[in-house]
Amino acid sequence: MAAAVETAGAEALPPASQAVEEHLEHAATTEGMAEEHHAEPLLWGIAPPAAVVSSAMIVLLAIAFLYAKAHKKIAGGLDGRIAEIKHQLDEAKKLRAEAEALRKEYADKIAGAEKDAEAMLEHARTEAATIVEKAEADTATMITRREKMAEDKIAAAERGAIDELRRKAAAASAAASADLIASNHGAAADKSLVDQTITGL
């Protein structure tokens, strides 16, 4: 109906007014076509802003997810490394305690060995002094015994010599007496002397 009115109006208008009307119709038609074919604006001439924002959100979420996984993995690795270091520290402490115990044990053994050595040395000195004293006493006793034996031998030799001298003197005296008696007395005098001796007994 509007088209019929416009056609009727166009037929009633003069030619100049008709040209203006046609120009306005053409402009209205062009504007309508522009409104119909109007597209959304493109970001950097690639994609609409909504698609870019969606893609950016997806990328950010993917980065956050990967970061969380990497963070967990790194944290797990660090925890494992910390646990290993703690284990190594515990082992080192244990080894140090064992080394300290061994050092104390050997120090005690060395101290005990030094005490034993000192006691053995003192015992050896005492035994040596005792042996020396006993040797000196034995030597003195032996010397005394040897001196007495020598004195006894000398006294025995002296007694033997004296006895020998006495025997020799007695023999010589008896021989001299026999000679004197033989030269000064006869058989009658001997008989008288024997009788006197027997009577005296």
Residue 48 and residue 41 in contact, taking contact as beta carbons nearer than 8 Å: yes
pLDDT at 4 over 80: no
Rounded-to-integer distance, Cα 194 and Cα 199, Å? 8
* pLDDT, position 200: 62
pLDDT at 95 over 90: yes
Question: Quick one: three-class SS letters along 34-72?
Answer: HHHCCCCCCECCCECHHHHHHHHHHHHHHHHHHHHHHHH
Q: Which helix (H) or strand (E) holds 185?
A: none
Bridge partners of residue 47, in order along the sequence: 43
Rounded-to-integer distance, Cα 54 and Cα 146, Å? 133
- What's the distance, CA 165 to chain centroid? 92
* pLDDT, position 89: 92
- Lowest mean pLDDT, pick from 46-55, 117-126, 132-141: 46-55
* pLDDT, position 14: 46
- Lowest mean pLDDT, pick from 78-82, 85-89, 116-120, 142-146: 78-82
Residue matched to tokens 């008288």: 192
HSE, side-chain direction, 13 A CA sphere, residue 192 = 6
Which residue has better confidence, 81 or 23?
81
Write down the pTM of the prediction: 0.33
- List pLDDT tens digits, range 20-70: 566 556 555 555 444 444 455 565 666 666 777 777 788 888 888 888 777
pLDDT at 173 over 80: no
